[in-house]
Chain A
Amino acid sequence: MTNPTSDRPSATDAGVGGAAIRVRALSHAFRGPEGTVDVLRDLSLDVEAGDYVAITGSSGAGKSTLLSLLGGLDAPQTGTVEVGGTNLHGLRGDGLAAYRRATVGFVFQHFGLVETLSAQENVELAAALAGLGRAARRTEASRLLDAVGLSDRAGHRPAKLSGGERQRVAIARALVNAPRLVLADEPTGNLDEESAVGVIGLLERAHRRLGTTLVLVTHNRMLAARGSRRLRLVDGSLVQAA
């Protein structure tokens, strides 16, 4: 694991611990009206547990597709994807849902909050899906919203929150089930610079405290530079970023 600057975050032993990622010969294509488009070609990746990896690439390079496959949002067509000891090959439907609940926390560029629920209810929703009781999920959601600095906004719906606040709620939701892998897809894409720095700081603090593996997809090179490893997706494969 590279660590170019001494003040950059690194994985710690505290918290739940991270999930190691092993990808071998991963290929994925999409069928469209103009034919088949190969997005990932024979991609391989090794991420140690608790690592912090930033992945960059041009638009349409397949960054989100790779994240979807690592997060079990889609099943790999060829190749193997193993996360935290779970082989995602052959998992479908409920199997992938169980993997996502137990292992992964997602942070999306578009925040992904349910507009008709309050911040508190959005965070509780993820806990409810994991089977947590009402009292426990309420406590945990309150704790996390406090940790991201939004305890006074817990009752507000997303429409009443700024972009940065919405992303903080999304981070709290991603962390409520103590995931071993956090996948962040352009988490600062819709934010101003100040909010972006705050959000990345939150992710990195959670990564340090919980020891989770953090995979960040971004087109922002400055943010990518904060990762302990920087990879670039080119022609469907990963290369070390400059």
Chain B
Amino acid sequence: MSWRDAASLAWSGVGRRFGRTVLTIFSVALAAALLTALLAVAGTARTRVLSQLTRGGPLAGIRVEAAAPNFAQLQSDDPTPGAPRPITNGAVAEIAALPEVEAVLPVVSVPEFVIPSISPTSGGRGPRPFADALVGVSVRDPEILPVSVVAGRLPSAGSLREVCVTEAYLNRLHIPTGQADRVVGTHLALGAPRVFPGLAFDQDRGLWIKPEIVGVVAQDAGTGAILGSVQLARRQLAFAQAGPDPGGSFAVPASQYSGLLVVAKGLNDIGPARQRIAAIGYSTSAPQQLIQSVLRYLHVVEIVLSGIGLIALLIAALGIAGAMLAAVRERRREIGVLKAIGARDRDVRRVFLVEAGIIGLIGGVVGTLAGVAMALMLGGAVNRYLTQQGLAGVRATVPLGLLLASVLGSTVLALVAGVAPAQRAARLPAREAVAEG
């Protein structure tokens, strides 16, 4: 009997005893749903936790400071930097050429006077200027920036008219994070300071711009309440650096770059990359040990959750085996007749195996879809809670590999569960065809 014929016969067999078949499929579906949902939620939580650790940036991110390295603390995730040391274009090129480095993003930081255009929500006064900093980064590759968007969007690449603000800006205006949307679309005045030496006294001037706030972000690229394009920051910095900064009153940096964001090729490349950057002469920091520690714990959690799902599948497999053994008992005469009309042992075995596989496949597909729905619903509920708390939301994702593994795993497990009943059916003697009742 061909596999196709066996499948036809098995398919017709699945329809018999409809209630029992439905219950068996349901048990497989429940187990597959549980496994899929648990692993999807675990995967989403893993992404979220790691994203929090890296502030939205890549796992293999390294921060390079415009300072000499502290060789006594090279192994530390966050060493105390040494003496200030400007980052030159040559140093940037040297770091970018390292074999462990995937990408280098310069960070430009420039002190600014900030005048918001909207008033604080409390305090009863109009907009109050304050001193802060504009952090300029290349927004062309947002996925490797340690920036996560809370409201709105990032500035367009190279834009001189758009900026984002951070929660520190919201705090100045006494605006809760949950109402971050209020500042999106408004403008603020930014003034880069510069000292113009005079005969009798120096004059302070500012290069004023009035960009639009297009988003609110949480960022870890640099210290500053304003985030903009690197082109905007460079223009402001060039103005500020053109004048003297007597006594460092405006804290105008001497370096072109306040730091670099370096992306290593992998987690295992972080250590070697940091050593090489230290050899070039700069201090680095990276949450490498923290991430590896967290990954180990997350892995344990995933193993435990997988184990729970697998136990559920195992219970479902026992159900399949039990249902099929009952089917073999009930169909003794039919099996005998099949053999009487010419079926071999392996033909009978094939039919029952395919029957088990069909139950596993249907249950796996239904359960996987249900698991995806459960994960998405759960992710939506968590997302609503997080945003209500003013935290960055979470988006549940279900990798295609997980879907395929769930369906395939259910089918394979059902086939394994069907082996013993199929073997018992195959071994039934043909004389059952003429046996009583």
Interface residues of A (CB under 8 A from B): 64, 67-68, 71-74, 93-94, 96-97, 100-101, 104, 106, 108, 110, 112, 114-117, 121, 125-126, 128-130, 173-174, 177, 185
The answer to whether A73 and B430 touch across the interface, beta carbons within 8 angstroms, is yes
What are 5 A-B interface contacts by the 8 Å CB criterion? A73-B430, A100-B339, A106-B340, A126-B341, A129-B341
A-B pair count, CB < 8 Å, reads 84
Among B231-239, B342-350, B362-370, the stretch in contact with A: B342-350
The answer to whether A116 and B16 touch across the interface, beta carbons within 8 angstroms, is yes
The answer to whether A74 and B341 touch across the interface, beta carbons within 8 angstroms, is no
The answer to whether A112 and B343 touch across the interface, beta carbons within 8 angstroms, is no
The answer to whether B342 and A126 touch across the interface, beta carbons within 8 angstroms, is yes
Q: Does B431 contact A (CB under 8 A)?
A: yes
The answer to whether A114 and B430 touch across the interface, beta carbons within 8 angstroms, is no
Q: Does B158 contact A (CB under 8 A)?
A: no
Q: Give chain A residues whose Cβ lies under 8 Å from the Cβ of B433.
A: 73, 106, 108, 112
Give the distance in Å from the alpha carbon of A73 to the alpha carbon of B342 in the complex.
10
The answer to whether A129 and B1 touch across the interface, beta carbons within 8 angstroms, is yes
Q: Number of B interface residues at 8 Å Cβ cutoff, please give it.
A: 26
Q: Does B337 contact A (CB under 8 A)?
A: yes
Q: Answer whether A117 and B1 are a contact pair too, CB < 8 Å, given A67-B434, A108-B434.
A: no
The answer to whether B430 and A72 touch across the interface, beta carbons within 8 angstroms, is yes
Give the distance in Å from the alpha carbon of A104 to the alpha carbon of B429 in the complex.
17
Distance between A210 CB and nearest chain B CB, rounded to angstroms: 17
List B303-336 residues whose CB lies under 8 Å from chain A.
333-334, 336
Q: Give chain B residues whose Cβ lies under 8 Å from the Cβ of A72.
A: 430
Distance between A187 CB and nearest chain B CB, rounded to angstroms: 12
Q: Give chain A residues whose Cβ lies under 8 Å from the Cβ of B431.
A: 68, 73-74
Give the distance in Å from the alpha carbon of A177 to the alpha carbon of B343 in the complex.
13
Contact among B13, B15, B341, B430 with A125 in the assembled complex (CB-CB below 8 Å):
B341
Q: Does B5 contact A (CB under 8 A)?
A: yes
The answer to whether B434 and A114 touch across the interface, beta carbons within 8 angstroms, is no
Q: Give chain B residues whose Cβ lies under 8 Å from the Cβ of A100.
A: 339-342, 430
Give the distance in Å from the alpha carbon of A68 to the alpha carbon of B338 in the complex.
14
9 more CB-based (< 8 A) A-B contacts, given A106-B337, A106-B340: A64-B434, A67-B434, A74-B429, A96-B430, A97-B343, A97-B344, A100-B339, A101-B342, A185-B434
Q: Give chain A residues whose Cβ lies under 8 Å from the Cβ of B337.
A: 106, 108, 112, 114
Distance between B170 CB and nearest chain A CB, rounded to angstroms: 68
List B1-60 residues whose CB lies under 8 Å from chain A.
1-2, 5, 9, 12-13, 15-16
Distance between B303 CB and nearest chain A CB, rounded to angstroms: 43
Distance between A135 CB and nearest chain B CB, rounded to angstroms: 14
Give the distance in Å from the alpha carbon of A48 to the alpha carbon of B341 in the complex.
23
Q: Give chain B residues whose Cβ lies under 8 Å from the Cβ of A185.
A: 434
Q: Answer whether A125 and B429 are a contact pair too, CB < 8 Å, given A64-B434, A112-B340, A116-B16.
A: no
Q: Give chain B residues whose Cβ lies under 8 Å from the Cβ of A128.
A: 1-2, 5
Distance between A189 CB and nearest chain B CB, rounded to angstroms: 12
Give the distance in Å from the alpha carbon of A126 to the alpha carbon of B337 in the complex.
10
Q: Give chain B residues whose Cβ lies under 8 Å from the Cβ of A74.
A: 429-431
